[in-house]
Structure 1
Amino acid sequence: MNKYRYLYNTTLSLLSNLLLVMGCFILCRIIFLAENWNAFSDLTARRIWRMFEGGFLFDTSAILYTNLLYIFLMLIPLHYKENIIYQKITKGIFIVTNLIVIIMNLMDTVYFQYTHRRTTASVFSEFKNEGNLGGILGTELLNHWYLTLLAVAFGYALFKLYCKPRVMKVSHLPVYYTVNLIILGVAVYLCVGGMRGGFTGMVRPITISNANKYVDRPIETGIVLNTPFSIYRTLGKKPFIVPQYFDKEKLETIYSPIHLPKDSTQFRPLNVVVFILESFGKENSGFLNEDLDNGTYKGYMPFLDSIMSEGLTFKYSFSNGMKSIDGMPSVLSGIPMFVEPFFLTPASLNTVSSIGGELKKKGYYTAFFHGADNGSMGFEAFARTVGYTNYYGRTEYNEANPGNKDFDGHWGIWDEKFFQFFANALSTFQQPFAAALFSLSSHHPFAVPTEYEGIFPKGNKAIRQCIGYTDNALKLFFEKVSKEPWYKNTLFVFTADHTNSQERPEYETESGLFSVPIVFYQPGTDLKGYRKEVIAQQIDIMPTVLGYLGYDKPYISFGCDLLNTQPEDTYAVNYINGIYQFFKGEYLLHFDGQKSIAMYAFKTDKLLEHNLLGEVAGQQQMEDELKAIIQQYMTCMNNDKLVIK
C-alpha cells in the first residue's frame, strides 16, 4: 500500500490542517467569551454548549470559504502537486490566509465591546476615510497585549503543526488521476454543503440571522458567530429586501412615515441647535437614574442633568442604532438603523431630508459641526446631502485658529475648544439658523487634556472622566451663549449617538444597550417635564422639533412628534443581530423578520429575564405595527421615497 500512498497523501494532510484551523477557531471563541463575559447574563454550561454547537456550523462555513484556494491546490488532480516546491507554496498560502481570519476574530473580541455584534463587510466602508486608525490600532495592541501574543502563538502553531504531505514520486498515472478526480468531486460536494450549512435542497445558505437559533438573547449571537463568516456573508449583499406582510391598502392603515401639517399650524422661526454627544449613554446620568444606589447615584454629567431638570426629557428613551454612523441619520433625518448602517448602503444615494433640510425651505441658515478631519465617518457628505449647507470640521477650526495645539492626537479637536468655536460661529449666523454638532472627546481611547487629568470622576470605566470633561465643555458653551441675543429664541436638543462601556446589569440588556437621554430645552419657556410614561427615540427628534416650531409642510420621518402624540402611542424601534426590537407601552417585542420570538415587560423586568411570548393580549397588534414599520422602511429605501416629492 505504501507505494500507492500518493493517492491519499495530500487528502489526509488537507483534512488534518483543516482540523487544526477548526481548533484555532474554537479557541478564538473561548477567548471571545472570556473577554466579553460581562456582556452576557445567565450563561449556563448547557447554554454555552448549545452556542458552541451552533458555532461549529458557522466555523465550518468560514473555514471552507477561507481555504477554498488551499483546498483546490491540495486536491487538484495533477501529479505535480506532490513535489516539495509546490507544497511549500501551498503551506504559505494556508498559514497567511488562516492567520488573517484568526486575527479578525481576535480583533473583534475587543471591537464587540463597542458594537455588540460581530463585524460585517460594512466595516470597510465605515472607516475608509479615517486616517487615524494606525494610532488607534497601536493603542489597542498595547492595551490588549495578551491578544497580540495570542495572535503570534496562533501563527506559530499554524507553522509548526502544519501537516506536510510526503514528497513522493507518482507512478500509475491513470490510477492517480482517476482516484484524485473522484476525491475532488467528493470534496466539492462536501465544501458546498459545508459552506451552505447543509446538503439538502431545502437548506438555504446560512446567514448571520441563523445564529439566533442557538441563543436566547440577540446579543449572544456574538458567541455563535465568527467574524470571517459575518464578513463573507455580507460582502456585496443587498441589505434592504421588502417583505410582503400586508397589501398596500392595509399597510397604509397600520403605519405611514408621512407627516402632514395640521390646518391650524402657525410657524415659529426659532433657532434650532442639536447636540449629538458621543457615547453619552443613559447610565451616565444621575437625573435619569434616580433609583440607583438607593437614590444616591450622582452620575457623570451634572450639567446635562441640570438641563434635564429645566427642560423636557423622558424616562424611557432609546437610540436607534449602536454606532456613531447610525446616530446622525436617526437624530437628524428620522431614519433608524435596520440591518446595516444607512451610510453604508446604496440607499445613502437616495434623496434624504433632515431638520436642517426642512427648515432650509423656510429660509434658515444651516450648518453642521464635527471636530474630526473633514470627511471622517462620512459625516460631511451626509450633512451636505440632507440640507446642512455649511460644514465646520477640523479644517475650518484650524483656519480660524492657526498654529493651535488643540488636536487630541487621535480623533480631532478637544470638545471644550471646539464647543467654544461652535459658540462663536453661532453668534455670527443670520437668524433663524439650524445647526447641529457631533462631539468626539468621549471616544476611545478615552483621554482628556492633560490639565484636566484627575479633575472628573473616573468611576470603574475609562470613559467616565471623558463624559465629565465633555459635560463641562457643554457647561462652558452655555455660559458663553447664554449672554447672546439669539439664546432665548433657540430650541436646544441633546442626545447621544449610542451607548458605551456599560457596567450595570440593567444597561447590558438588549434594552439597556440602546438607552440614551433625549432632551428638549428652550430657555425661559414652559417646555419642561420628566415624561415617565412616554417612550422616546432618536427618530422622534426631527418630528418633535418640526412640530414644536409649527412646521407647515409634509415630510418623511419614521418617528413621531412627542409633543402631539398620546403617550400610549409612542414607541421605539431598533435592530440587533438579526432581531428587530419594538418598544411600546409596557412591553418589548423581539421579532426575527418572520415571527415573534420574545416579549418582555421591560419597565419592570429590567434584566429581561421573563419571556412572556404568547401571554400578552396586545402581542399581535404590536407585531403588526412593527411589520408595517419594517415594510414601509424597506419600501422607502429601495424606491427612493425618503422625501415628499
Structure 2
Amino acid sequence: MKKEFRIQEILILMYRIFLAYVFYQISRVLFWQFNKDLIKVDSIADYFRLAFHGIAFDTTAILYVNSLFILLSLLPLVINTKKYYQKILFWLYFITNGIAYLMNFGDFIYYRFSQTRLTSAVFQVVKNESNLLKTSTISIIQHPFVIISFVVLMSLWIFLYKKINVKERKPLKLLPYFICSIITICCTTVLVIGGIRGDFKHSTRPINMVDANRFVINPVQGNMVLNSTFSFFRTLGTNNFKAVHFVDSQFIEKNIQPYKLYHRKIINRPNIVIFIVESFGREYSGAFNKEKNIKDYVSYTPFIDSLANESLIFPNSFANGRQSIHGMSSILAGIPSLTDAFTGSPYSNQKIQSIVSVCNDLGYDTSFYHGAPNGSMGFLGFGNILGFKHYFGKNEYNNDKDFDGIWAIWDEPFLQYFAKNTGKKQPFMTTVFTASSHHPFKIPEKYKGKFKKGKIEMHEPIQYTDFSIRKYFETAKKQPWFHNTIFVFTGDHTNEVCYPEYQKAMNHFAVPIIFYSPNPEYQLKGVNIETAQQIDIYPTLADLIGYNKKIRSWGKSLVSPEKYSSIIVNSDGGTEQFIIGNYLYRFDGKNFTGVYDKKDLNFDNNLINRVKNPEIEKGKLISKAWYQDYMDRVINRKLH
C-alpha cells in the first residue's frame, strides 16, 4: 500500500521545499552582510530572532514560486515517478526558484540605493531606460561576489536536490492511489493557501510588507525579516491609493491647510533655476554638518559649501521620496510619494498645479534639462504633465562624445550647455537634473586622480558634480540674466552613506535645501534650523516670485512671515512617516506603528504604548487628516 499512499514522493517533495527555506535563510545572511551598515542588528540572538520571523515571509514567497511544482508533484498521473517526468519537475523547480532567488541577490546592491526591498514599483523605474543591460553588467563587474555567490549557492542547491531521487514505482491498485492523491492534494492546498496568506484565520488579511514591522525594534530591520521575492510578488497589481475618512473637512482646512496664499509684492519678477542634483545627500556637504559633531568628518562639495555661505540653507531638510522621479514630483509639484509612488500610479496623468504651472500663469518661459536619452526616468512624460514649454535632453545636446556611455552627458559639459542655452526669454523658470553622481560612480577619464577617493564610492563623483556646478557658475555669472535669478539646490534622494549619523533611518531621506541669489533684494542668506522638506520648495518659490493667488500645497513657504503649519512627510516604502511638532509618527494607512521623539532619527525608542499626551494624540489626528486629504486629492484628481 506504500505505493498507493505515495509516501516516498511526499517526503521527497517536503525535502525539496525544505531546501528552498535553507537557501532563503542563506540569502538573508548575505543580504545583511552587504547592508549591515544600514541595518543595525545588536547581537547574534537578535539576528536569529529576525530570521525566525522571516520564515513566515519566506513561506509565502516559496509557495508563490512553487505552487505549480507542488501541484504537478502530487497530481495522480501514474507517470509521476518516471525519469522523464522527474526531469520536467527538475527544470520547472530550478527555473522558477532560480529567477525568484536571484531577486534577493539583486537587492544586495539595489537596497543601498532604494532603501527598501524590491517591489513591483521597479517596473516604473526601468520602463523608460535603454541602458539596463549595460548598468547591470557594470554592477556585476563591480560586485563579482554577488554573482559568484549566486552561482555557487545554486550549484549547491542542485547538488542537494539530486542527492535524493524518486525511485520509479508503478501503483498496483489505482483506486486507492487516486483517493490518497486527492486527499493529499486537498490537504496540501489548505496548507499552501494558509502559507501564502501567512495565517489561517479568515478574519486576517494576508501578510504584506508592513507586517514585517511587527517583529522588529527598529523599523529598518523590517527589511531583514522580508525577502525580495515576497516584496515583489506581494506588490504586483497593488494599488495602495484608497480613499479613507478619519476627520471632517473642517479639521483638514484648519490643520492641514491644503491651500496657501502669499501676499508678497514683486515689481521685477526673478528668474528661477532649480538644480536637482542626483543622489545629493546632506552627508556629503560640510555646510550642512557644522553642528552635527561627526567624528573625522570630511566634506566633498567645496564649491557648494562656499555657495552655502552666501545662501539661505536648511541643515535639517528631508526628501519626500526614495527615487529620482519621486524627487521631481516633490520638488516641482509638492506631491510626495507614499508607499506607492504617485508618479507610478493610475492617477499621475491629471491636471497638477506646480511651480511650472504657476510660472506659466505669470508668463515665464519654462524648461527642463536632463542629459540622459529623452524619456529616461519618466522625466519627459511627467514634465509634459506639469506643463514645461521646453525639454532639453541628450537628443537636443546632440554630441555623443560627451556621453558617459551609461546614463547621460557628463555633468560638466551638460551644465555648460545649460548655462548658455537658458535665459533667451525672460523671466524664465528652468530645472536641471544632473546625472553623474550616480552608480556606477564614474568620472571622466581626464579627471582621474583630480578628486580624492574618499571612504565610499560616491565621494569621488559627487566631487566631480560639485566641480561641474562651479564651472557652471563661472559661465552663468557672465550671462545678462544672472543677477536677477534665484537658484535652488537640492538632491532627488540620498545614496551611499559613510557616517553613523546618516545611517539613521530618517536620515536615509536627508537631502540639502539651498536658496541663493546674487540679488540682495530677496534676502536669501543665513542658516535656518527649522525642519524643511522638498515639497516646501514649490510654495517658497511661488511666494518669492509674487504669485498672489491660492496654491495647492502640502508644503509651505520657508521665507514667508505668514505662518502655516509644518508637516514633514515621506515613506520608507511600507510605512508613512510624519514629523509634526516634537514627535515623529509612523502610520501604515490604518494604524500607528510607532511614535518617536523627533530627535530619535533612528527610531530606537518607540513611545507608542508608553507615552500619551495631548500633543501626541493631536499629532496622530493630524497625520491621519493629512493622509486622508492626500488620498482624496490624488484619487479624485484635485491636485490643481
Distance 1:435 1:568 in 2: 27
Aligned with 2:309: secondary structure? helix
Task: Please list every run of 5 or more consecutive structure 1 residues that lacks an aligned counterpart in the other structure.
Answer: none
| Separation of aligned partners in 1, 2:297 and 2:268 | 39
Q: Which residue of 2 aligns with 1:107?
A: 106
Are the counterparts in 2 of residues 568 and 584 from structure 1 also a CA contact under 8 Å?
A: no
Q: CA deviation at 1:269?
A: 2.3
User: In the comparison of the two structures, how many residue pairs are matched?
Assistant: 635
Contact 1:534 1:567 in 2 (8 A): no
Q: Indicate conservation of the 8 Å contact 1:211/1:221, yes or no.
A: yes
Q: Name the stretch that deviates more: 616-625 or 106-115.
A: 616-625
Is the contact between residue 568 and residue 580 of structure 2 (CA under 8 Å) also seen in structure 1?
A: yes
**What is the CA-CA distance between 1:157 and the residue it aligns to?**
2.5
Larger deviation: 285-294 or 509-518? 285-294
Structure 2 gap ranges (5+): none
State the secondary structure of the residue aligned to 2:110: helix
Aligned residue number for residue 641 of structure 1 = 638
Task: Give the corresponding residue for 1:231.
Answer: 232
* Distance in 2 of aligned mates of 1:185 and 1:608: 45
Counterparts of 2:364 and 2:281 in 1: how far apart (Å)? Answer: 31
* Normalised TM-score (structure 2): 0.95
- CA deviation map 1:38-79 (0-9, x unaligned): 112352333322211221000000000001111111111222
Conservation of the 8 A alpha-carbon contact between 1:6 and 1:170: no
Is 2:638 aligned against 1:626? no
Partner of 1:456: 451
Alignment deviations for residues 540-584 of structure 1 (CA, whole Å, 9 cap, x no partner): 000000011110232322211111267893341111142222223
> Please, which of 439, 463, 467 is the counterpart of residue 472 of structure 1?
467
Range with greater deviation from structure 2 (114-123 or 45-54): 45-54
Confirm or deny that 1:562 pairs with 2:558.
yes
Q: Match of 1:418?
A: 414
Partners of 1:374 and 1:232 in 2: how far apart?
Answer: 31
Tell me whether 517-526 or 228-237 shows the greater mean CA deviation. 517-526
| CA distance, structure 1, for counterparts of residue 90 and residue 22 of structure 2 | 18
* Shift, 1:487, TM fit: 0.8
Matches of 2:267 and 2:246, distance apart in 1:
38
Alpha carbons 2:218, 2:603 under 8 Å: kept: no
Name the counterpart of 1:593.
589
* Equivalence for 1:502: 497
Give the whole-Å Cα distance in 1 for the aligned partners of 2:9 and 2:631.
49
Partner of 1:548: 544
**Contact 2:294–2:501 (CA under 8 A) maintained in structure 1:** no
CA contact (8 A) 1:373 1:394 kept: yes
**Structure 1 segment 8-19 matched on structure 2, within 5 A:** 8-19=7-18
Identical counterparts, % of pairs: 37
Equivalent position amino acid for 2:451 in 1: F
SS at match of 2:539: helix
What is the match of residue 350 of structure 2? 350
- What is residue 160 of structure 2 aligned with on the other side? 161
Q: Could you tell me whether the CA contact under 8 Å between 2:218 and 2:602 is conserved in 1?
A: no
Partners of 1:9 and 1:253 in 2: how far apart?
A: 69
Equivalent residue, structure 1, for 2:315: 315
Provide the C-alpha distance between the structure 1 equivalents of 2:550 and 2:291, rounded to a whole number of angstroms. 41
Asked if 2 retains the 8 angstrom alpha-carbon contact of 1:547 and 1:561, the reply is: yes
What SS does the aligned partner of 1:146 have?
helix
Counterpart code for 1:515: A
Write out per-residue CA displacement over residues 235-271 of structure 1, whole angstroms, 9 at most, x where no aligned residue.
1111211222113333333213223354x75575221
Q: 1:225 is matched by which residue type in structure 2?
A: L
Measure how far apart 1:298 and its partner are.
4.7
AA aligned opposite 2:105: L
User: How many Å apart are 1:609 and its aligned residue?
Assistant: 3.5
Measured in 2, the distance between the counterparts of 1:566 and 1:505 equals 37
Q: Partner of 1:221 in structure 2?
A: 222
Q: Measure how far apart 1:293 and its partner are.
A: 5.9
- Deviations along 1:595-629, one digit per CA (max 9) or x if unpaired, are 433333344x5655433442565212222221111
| CA deviation string 1:499-550 (max 9, x = no partner) | 1111111111122111111011111315233344411100000000001111
Q: Which residue of 2 aligns with 1:255?
A: 256
Indicate the SS of the match to 1:28. helix
CA drift at 1:485: 1.2
Structure-2 separation of matches of 1:450 and 1:417: 14
The CA deviation string for residues 356-386 of structure 1, in whole angstroms up to 9 with x for no partner, is 1221112111110000111111011111110
SS of the aligned residue for 2:235 comes to: coil
When the two chains are superposed, the root-mean-square deviation of aligned CA atoms in Å is 2.0
After superposition, residues 139-538 of structure 1 pair within 5 angstroms as 139-162=138-161, 163-262=164-263, 265-266=265-266, 268-291=268-291, 297-398=297-398, 401=399, 404-427=400-423, 429-525=424-520, 526-538=522-534
Measured in 2, the distance between the counterparts of 1:566 and 1:186 equals 66
State TM-score, norm by structure 1: 0.94
2:324 partner letter:
S
Question: How many angstroms does 1:225 deviate by?
Answer: 0.6
**Comparing 526-535 and 450-459, the one that deviates more:** 526-535
| Separation in 1, partners of 2:527, 2:301 | 20
- Matching residue of 2:122: 123
CA distance in 1, matches of 2:373, 2:91: 39
Amino acid at match of 1:629: W
Superimposed CA distance per residue, residues 323-375 of structure 1 (whole angstroms, 9 cap, x where no aligned partner): 11211000111001111222211111222232112211121111100001111
CA distance in 2, matches of 1:312, 1:435: 20
Range with bigger deviation, 174-183 or 71-80: 71-80
Q: Is the 8 A contact 1:505 1:607 kept in 2?
A: no
1:8 positional shift: 2.7
Query: Using the alignment, how far apart are the partners of 2:175 and 2:40 within structure 1?
Result: 60
Please tell me whether the aligned partners of residues 318 and 533 of structure 2 are also in contact (alpha carbons under 8 angstroms). Answer: yes
**Aligned-partner Cα distance in 1 for 2:190–2:595:** 41
